A = this chain, B = another copy of it.
Amino acid sequence: MTDARPYTYVLDRLKSAGLRPTRQRLALAKLLLETDDRHVTAEQLHCEASDSGIKVSLATVYNTLHQFTKADLLREVVVESGRAYFDTNTDEHYHIFHQDTGELCDIPDHALSTLALPEPPAGTEIDRIDVIVRVKSKT
């Protein structure tokens, strides 16, 4: 688990993705990429940015999240219809979603390798596989 990555790491990742390190972009990238394994919604990230004194519009947060996703800095995880989560871990892995709290976390030591992959329908190929383990508080 790599924490507190240096400023240059974040900068480099932006640059090698071909994205200009503008003030807003860099600020969001730092929030997202300076530590491992973040799962954020646009709204959350927008709050965090505001809290740390960065002025960014929500629209820019959305645009930035999608740019980052296209550049493979992030991965979108769909767990609830009507809310998009973005995951800073772009490796193959799966998720635990806590239905009561809305908290999403990685299962790093995953069992995907033991999942017998189905034959994709003719003319198609597998893009990715999502596994979401939905948990709820014990009653």
- Chain A residues with CB under 8 Å of chain B are 76, 78-84, 96, 98-99, 107, 111, 114-118, 120-121, 123-138
Docked complex Cα distance between A132 and B13 (Å) = 30
Q: Are B121 and A111 in contact (CB under 8 A)?
A: no
Q: Are B128 and A134 in contact (CB under 8 A)?
A: yes
Q: Are A99 and B111 in contact (CB under 8 A)?
A: no
A114 touches which one: B114, B129, B134, B138 (CB < 8 A)?
B114
Q: Are A130 and B131 in contact (CB under 8 A)?
A: yes
A136 touches which one: B80, B125, B134, B137 (CB < 8 A)?
B125
The residues of B that contact A129 with a CB separation of less than 8 Å are: 131-134
Supply 11 further A-B pairs (C-beta < 8 A) apart from A96-B118, A98-B121.
Answer: A80-B81, A81-B82, A81-B83, A98-B124, A99-B127, A111-B116, A117-B133, A118-B133, A124-B136, A124-B138, A129-B133
Indicate whether A135 sits within 8 Å of B126 (C-beta atoms), given known contacts A96-B118, A107-B118.
yes
* A-B CB contact pairs (8 Å), 18 listed: A78-B80, A78-B81, A81-B83, A81-B84, A99-B127, A111-B117, A114-B114, A114-B115, A117-B133, A121-B135, A125-B138, A126-B135, A127-B134, A128-B134, A129-B131, A129-B132, A129-B133, A131-B131
